[in-house]
Structure 1
Amino acid sequence: MHVSTIISFVVFVVIVTVLSWYITRKHQLKTASDVFLGSRSLNWIVIGGALFMTNISANQFIGENESVFMNNMSIMAWGVTSVLAMLFVSEFFMPIYLRIGAVTTPDFLAVRYDGATKKIVSVVFLVSYLVNLIPAVLYGGAVAFNGIFHLNEILHISYWSAIWLLACLIAITGYLYNVLGGLKVITMSDTVLGAGMIAGGLLLPYFGFKYLGHGDAAEGLRIVLGTDTGHLNAIGNRYDAVPFSTIFTGMLLVNVYYWGMEQFIVQQALGSVNLEQSQKGIALACLCKLLSPLMLNIPGLIAVHLYLHPQSTAEIFPRLAADALPPVYTGLIAAVVFGAALSTFNAGLSSAGTLFTMNLYKPYMLKKKGEIAEKKLLSTTWIFQVIVTLIGIGIAPFIMLFKGGFYNYIQMLSGFFSIPIFTIMIVGMATRYIPAVAAKVGLLFFFVANIFFQLILDTGLHYLHLLAILFVITALLMLAIGKIWPMAVPYTPATTPSVTLQPWKNRHWYSAVLIILMVLLFVLFSPMGLAK
């Protein structure tokens, strides 16, 4: 390992840490709002950077480049089409959340249905974080970091031990961020890391093409564009990782859920000063998502022409970074990858603490004792986060045993939790008379049907199509229950918002530009463009 790589890695990590601390040094953690929402003081730049970095974890670096290497650019659809979902959330969901002063997304369920529904969904969120989000983030970060620094070779330990050790390092660092800084420090470090990621996104493809072209970047680009062009196609067929048709069915639902209902994502925007800052921040995150293929997909394309028989396809991205980049830049990329893993872990851990403390523990204590001190809430949160961290560390290394590909593991497992919650929330937002019992029946029906059709009876359908079908059936079931047993008093939205709800005046123009850029990306990576 080159000394300059280690130095540049340490320098960049120290810069991010010191900047984040300096900017937020006067922010004190005295109340739950200070910890969970940054005292509702976040502006659009911080929100945009936090949304982007929370979404872009080491999972994407590893999983998406692995998918491009194994299939083609169709995996790009997950990130690029999320622009549509984010704009939809910005326009319709954020006013709802900010109007009721939501701390967690299940808070809407308590207002719309009842407290029991809120608690059930909070438990579902927590289970999802424990078995999917937290372990996957730790595993992805560990794989990427080990691939760049080859820790197992340096320390003469097994690959399994190296992954476990690095997962511990990421987890402990993330826990300290949460305890010492809360959401505001996390989002501030995400903003700085986002700038580093964009810089890295430009550097890695350039040096990758140069490495492929034996010192000539233009020659490397010609090789990628002129050889095995099937990998350049983002219009996936039914046999590809992401069939193009799924963009309009299950993928759209999953993306709207992810950006508009997933607690660890939405929490970044709930801390905004007002609705305008929230909408501007989401637009900034959309622009970053359109740039993200530079690091999440292009390296996989380059690797196709470099590594014919890799030992592990999960190490495609870190191997290219280690081989192609000069030592100083390798340290920068390693710091960005480490920061990306840390960012998503921080957000997941913070959200798990928020959900447990505010939605489960606090109501229980208020019912039992009638009151609870803010200090007690914070100490309980930190204890619970220790438990979550330990469970994540314990599960993370076992993900390498999954045979379907790392990214497929993440998406398949998240589908079991996401769309049932999405269904009852979207029906609740769109109607006024559907009762709480319909939400509970809908959740149960979706869970059971999804397990049956995905794990027991093979329908031959892509799992995203299946999720869309079950969404429609569950929504119709809820509407039928509402027709038979409607609420005696219809749901009425709150009229006293917690923050100013004046929307961003220019949002529609920016939205139009973002959608046009999204479409052009698909045209570029299609048989009409580069994949001729």
Structure 2
Amino acid sequence: MNQQTLSSGDYVVFAIYFIIVAGYGLWVYKRKHNADATSKDYFLAEGSLTWWAIGASLIASNISAEQFIGTSGSAFKMGLAISTYEWMAAITLIIVAVFFIPVYLRNKIFTMPQFLHERYNSTVAMIMAIFWLLLYIVVNLMSILYLGALAISNIADININACIILLAVFAVVITLGGMKVIGYTDVIQVAVLVLGGLVAVYLALNKLSEYTNTPGLVSGLNYLHDQAKDHFHMILKKDNDNYMDLPGLSVLIGGMWIVNLNYWGCNQYITQRALGANLKTARGGILFAAVLKLLMPVIVVLPGIAAYVLHEKGMFHKEMLSSSGVLDPNKAYPSLLSLLPSGLKGLSFAALTAAIVASLAGKANSIATIFTLDIYKKAINPEATDKKLVNLGKMSVIVAMALGVLLSFVIGEKLMGEGKQGFQYIQEYTGFVSPGIFAMFILGFFWKKATSNAALFATIGGFIFSCFFKLCPRFIDLSFLSPYGFSKLALQDDKVTKLYEIPFLDRMGFVFVLCVIGMYIISKIENARGVVPNGLVVDTSMFKTSRAFTAGALIVTGIVVALYSIFW
């Protein structure tokens, strides 16, 4: 029998988890559902979510298969450095809470396309609404479904296609209840994923401590550090094999800021959780999410490093091989779960499922929100009633999930199958559009002279610039950018050729700067011609924070600084 196959006790634990989440979701729906609820109430849970529900929902929506499987796989390969996505996000969340959320709430912005419509024009808003729908379905839904199903298939010995379908159905059931159900069930999902993740880490460290004379958690952690010292550096040097993924100081002063600020501040999927609350509640929830972010590397990074050390000690050789016999980092976390006894393995299995389903539900709700409020109501049927919009939103959830399932069947294995780092794939290819979008948002927030044509330039030009910096090193000598990349030998047209590559985080930084410069020039030209852009209400009083929030933000920032100082 497969060592990782679940026992009957594991299925009992998983069934209890499923019943609790489904039952609580049904209770929330019946208690808080209003037959005459507005579309904003359904999609945004306007005024209904508490700070702790917002914070938990933010993390539940963010932590999914790409973290449990992809990040653990990257940790197996490159170590603690991959934690930069989590710890830098904690600082980013504070910035979003202080500067971004007040702008959205003061101007009554409920969706990202709505922001673009009010700040620029309907053309920019519609282009980006359609783009976001495609991105969320083709990249996000598909990747979450496929990576999640791949992990569950490895653990439970269930056909991967069946896993994809079951995950989609579970997520649809949660999503159809609206944002209230998603927000409050996410509290349970986060509790389960944190508990299950900590159990897996605890037992992995205990297993490592068996190689020492003093078994125990601390002994296992010290042994892990001693055996994998090269895996405990946050800033990678240029001679590191993983430099292309995390290029040194760029994680502190370069493209990582664009990744995080765009994801946490300009992303319907994330900001939607806070847009239905008042400023105090929204900020409290985001600060709570920042605190939880500090904990995430313990749950999704340490397991990958532990799997690396155990693999070096002779374990998991069979479990971590792909079907073609190649070492597959994405199997690090599922392999680690094979150490768990019956019952606890079911808990960790439930934690993984919770992370996947919560992310799927959040993504599907955002797809329904954008399609219903920003495309259907604005361009197709402006007179649609709230009841019709809610029903259409439910239908769009089912259609979007069905498309995600179909894409997972057709191209999931090709893009994120065995041997590939799914997490890095998602980050790099989302990065083709992030710099332009972030430039458009940040200037739209804080520079009233930015025009609609400048925003269009950032949207389209940012993608073109990203493609240029990705492809042109094959044809053009960019060695003058030597501090930001390196050359390598490659076989091209049956000849050994020296190719110059730019790490994608640095590439994002270059593109962002070019987009800002382009927007500035275009806006200045149009301003001189008498074009007066639409402005938002922005004043310095909006950015004042309470003493409690300031104290919490300083504590979080101090912890991040300390972590980077210790593990530099």
- Aligned mates of 1:490, 1:58 — CA distance in 2: 42
The CA deviation at 1:212 is 3.0
CA contact (8 A) 2:274 2:282 kept: yes
1:281 aligns with 2:285: yes
Partner residue of 1:349 out of 348, 364, 372: 364
1:516 aligns with 2:529: no
Q: 1:502 to 1:448 in 2, by over 3 A?
A: closer
**What is the aligned-residue identity percentage?**
28
Partner residue of 1:73 out of 72, 77, 80: 80
- Aligned mates of 1:222, 1:445 — CA distance in 2: 49
- Aligned mates of 2:421, 2:62 — CA distance in 1: 19
Runs of 4+ in 1 over 4 A off after TM superposition: 500-503
CA contact (8 A) 1:40 1:270 kept: no
Match of 1:426 in 2: 442
Match of 1:237 in 2: 237
Q: Which runs of 5 or more residues in structure 2 are unaligned?
A: 1-5, 322-327, 475-499
Matching of residues 211-250 of structure 1 within 5 Å: 211-214=207-210, 216-218=215-217, 219-238=219-238, 239=240, 240=242, 241-247=245-251, 248-250=253-255
- Aligned mates of 2:193, 2:59 — CA distance in 1: 10
Deviations 1:228-251 (A, max 9, x none): 311122222234232332212111
Match of 2:456 in 1: 440
Q: 1:430 to 1:184 in 2, by over 3 A?
A: same
Partner residue of 1:415 out of 431, 444, 460: 431
- Aligned mates of 1:360, 1:501 — CA distance in 2: 31
1:489 aligns with 2:496: no
Match of 1:304 in 2: 308
Q: Letter of the aligned partner of 1:415 in structure 2? A: G
1:171 aligns with 2:214: no
Aligned length: 507
Q: Letter of the aligned partner of 1:389 in structure 2? A: M
CA contact (8 A) 1:72 1:233 kept: yes
Q: 1:365 to 1:502 in 2, by over 3 A?
A: farther
Q: Aligned to 1:432, what secondary structure does the other structure show?
A: coil
The CA deviation at 1:494 is 4.2
- Aligned mates of 2:512, 2:180 — CA distance in 1: 36
Partner residue of 2:198 out of 196, 202, 207: 202
Match of 1:159 in 2: none
CA contact (8 A) 1:276 1:501 kept: no
- Aligned mates of 1:503, 1:221 — CA distance in 2: 38
Q: Which runs of 5 or more residues in structure 1 are unaligned?
A: 152-161, 527-532
Q: Aligned to 1:244, what secondary structure does the other structure show?
A: coil
Q: Which 10-residue stretch deviates more, 128-137 or 96-105?
A: 96-105
- Aligned mates of 2:523, 2:375 — CA distance in 1: 27
Q: Letter of the aligned partner of 1:208 in structure 2? A: A
Matching of residues 134-145 of structure 1 within 5 Å: 134-145=141-152
Deviations 1:262-291 (A, max 9, x none): 11111011122x100100101100010000
Matching of residues 331-346 of structure 1 within 5 Å: 331-346=346-361
1:461 aligns with 2:471: no
Deviations 1:30-65 (A, max 9, x none): 321122111332110100100111111121000111
CA contact (8 A) 2:28 2:180 kept: no
- Aligned mates of 2:80, 2:330 — CA distance in 1: 16
CA contact (8 A) 2:98 2:544 kept: no
1:476 aligns with 2:491: no
CA contact (8 A) 2:94 2:286 kept: yes
CA contact (8 A) 1:37 1:183 kept: yes
Q: Letter of the aligned partner of 2:561 in structure 1? A: V
- Aligned mates of 2:414, 2:117 — CA distance in 1: 39
Q: Aligned to 1:81, what secondary structure does the other structure show?
A: helix
Deviations 1:478-507 (A, max 9, x none): 1111111116435443499xxx99854422
Matching of residues 22-37 of structure 1 within 5 Å: 22-28=27-33, 30-37=37-44
Matching of residues 146-165 of structure 1 within 5 Å: 146-151=153-158, 162-165=159-162
Matching of residues 81-120 of structure 1 within 5 Å: 81-120=88-127
CA contact (8 A) 2:197 2:351 kept: no
Q: 1:123 to 1:280 in 2, by over 3 A?
A: same
The CA deviation at 1:476 is 0.7
The CA deviation at 1:148 is 2.1
The CA deviation at 1:318 is 1.4
- Aligned mates of 2:552, 2:544 — CA distance in 1: 17
Match of 2:63 in 1: 56
Partner residue of 2:271 out of 238, 243, 266: 266
TM-score of the superposition, structure 1-length normalised? 0.91
Deviations 1:147-190 (A, max 9, x none): 32122xxxxxxxxxx222111111111112222x1011011111
CA contact (8 A) 2:79 2:301 kept: no
Q: Letter of the aligned partner of 1:400 in structure 2? A: E
The CA deviation at 1:117 is 0.9
Partner residue of 1:192 out of 163, 183, 188: 188
Q: Aligned to 1:377, what secondary structure does the other structure show?
A: helix
- Aligned mates of 1:414, 1:287 — CA distance in 2: 25
Q: CA RMSD in A?
A: 2.1
Q: 1:71 to 1:242 in 2, by over 3 A?
A: same
TM-score of the superposition, structure 2-length normalised? 0.85
Match of 1:130 in 2: 137
Q: Aligned to 2:101, what secondary structure does the other structure show?
A: helix
- Aligned mates of 1:512, 1:495 — CA distance in 2: 25
Q: Aligned to 2:13, what secondary structure does the other structure show?
A: helix
1:507 aligns with 2:541: no
- Aligned mates of 1:282, 1:194 — CA distance in 2: 15
CA contact (8 A) 2:75 2:301 kept: yes
CA contact (8 A) 2:117 2:125 kept: yes
The CA deviation at 1:210 is 1.6
Q: Letter of the aligned partner of 1:231 in structure 2? A: H
Deviations 1:192-228 (A, max 9, x none): 1212222223322111112233493355334312213
Match of 2:486 in 1: none
Match of 1:358 in 2: 373
Q: Aligned to 1:372, what secondary structure does the other structure show?
A: coil
- Aligned mates of 2:250, 2:551 — CA distance in 1: 27
- Aligned mates of 2:515, 2:339 — CA distance in 1: 50
Q: Which 10-residue stretch deviates more, 75-84 or 376-385?
A: 376-385
The CA deviation at 1:456 is 4.6
Deviations 1:327-375 (A, max 9, x none): 2111111111101101111111110111111111111234xxx511222
Match of 1:154 in 2: none
CA contact (8 A) 1:119 1:359 kept: yes
